[in-house]
Structure 1
Amino acid sequence: MAVGGLKFARLGRLGAPFADDGAAVRTAWDDGEGLPEALTQRIGADGPHFVPQAELPPGTAYEQFIFEAGQVPTRENLHDFFNALCWMRFPRTKKRLNELQAAEIAAAGIQAVRGPVRDACTVFDENAALLHAPDRLWDALARREWARLFGEMRPLWRQAQLLVFGHAALEKLVSPYKSITVHVWRVDAPWVDPRTLDAWLADDLKPAKLAAKPFVPLPVLGVPGWWPANEDPGFYADPQVFRPLRREAPAQ
């Protein structure tokens, strides 16, 4: 199955961290090589092996299989393609997420509803974005002060670093639409390269912090420089996308 004309250029800054790895795998995939094989040949020796989805035994949890076998079941689609690219660029973080999932499964088994740590790990893995930003910008984002965040504070975004990590979010961004919203995880210090960020992030992912779900929603195509349409201030006048912060009702 071909990548379907995936162009990392279409992702712009969103896809830049994955472009080199993705282009090499995409070429092999488009030439008819199976996606698991194309990935395994191009990942470092310390990374997992990618295997066809059929090798996941029936009744075995996906995360448990990865933890025990060191193999990632992979379908021939864009979702698993981006998941694999995240393994290639952020191996320590992906391994940490898997270890946390496996520990929760070992402690509580597979339940109808995931516990708070497993739930947060899944949200992070699928939809996280990583943001290092000045305190003023972060505070405005946390308060959902969209007009300030993308209006008067727009120049402050030049001091920020933002990277989309979640593979489901990256898949959506191949065919962008305005309401794509990521779950932002704050990074305390600037990063120089993916390896530096990977080491910091793997250490930062602790069960108690994840269970508290310190994510902040961000309609990612509103970020200055990431989507041409947001040069028009009217882009943000959409309460269905740029929603105000919900206030807790006062106790009676």
Structure 2
Amino acid sequence: MTAKSAILSAAELRTELAGLRPPVLLDVRWQLGGPDQRPAYEAGHLPGAVYVDLDRELAGPPGSGGRHPLPDPEAFGEAMRRAGVPADGPVVVYDGGLGWAAARAWWLLRWTGHPNVRVLDGGLAAWTAAGGVVTTDRVTPAESDFKPTPGAVGLLDADAAALRARDGVLLDARAGERYRGEVEPIDPVGGHIPGALSAPTTENVGPDGRFLPADTLRARFEGLGASEGAAVGVYCGSGVSAAHEVLALEVAGIESDLYAGSWSEWSADPARPVATGPDPQ
């Protein structure tokens, strides 16, 4: 996939849905610490979209590996087959508009080898703002032939993330105050991985939740040292918003690796070092 193919607009999606090979749609609405979003899906979703539960289908059980560790690949593959995801046909994922959950699904499908998955830029909000219709129709897809092959894109563990912070570029996608350790509402310790740079993923989008232009994103990341050809890694609190930053980097034409365990895994081990304040070290 090229950088430009990682996302598509509501207008582009409408055209593709009317074409000869419409994409499979996955609705990945999710609210951090909030209630199940299936009722919201049932109240109105894109025609043909299948609901995917982030906590149950896009993550494993929380524990020492973090709050949203990667799901077992076979369990993930089974969930995607139930959702009708084909082995190589086009797939488009969307969420309520924040983009984090959709990016998590996008990253997991790419990591497990799917060759043709994109994110609806701006999510459901962009679709309805562009005049797109929603439906309450029940969707029961036929089981598909998708088989996961993990390892298609870069994945970091804690040791590799620490090394990336020293020898490459490691971006922290959380809010700046969490990076600096001023507040920590979820995990046991505030601060950041020593050497990591603060790069909140919220600064990659405009007020409407859509990604900033590719050139703007590229300039932002290059200013942090994350240029094309650099060894770049990304983490966040639990590996969800970091996937959104990986997507932003993809839009900018810059490859990066995800530290899926992220701060929730790192901070769970008291032996791992923690830096605080604005200084990366």
Using structure 2 for the length normalisation, give the TM-score: 0.25
From the two aligned structures, give the one with the greater helix fraction: 1
Return the index of the structure with the highest Cα Rg: 1
Using structure 1 for the length normalisation, give the TM-score: 0.27
Greater RCO (Cα-Cα under 8 Å, separation 6 or more): 2
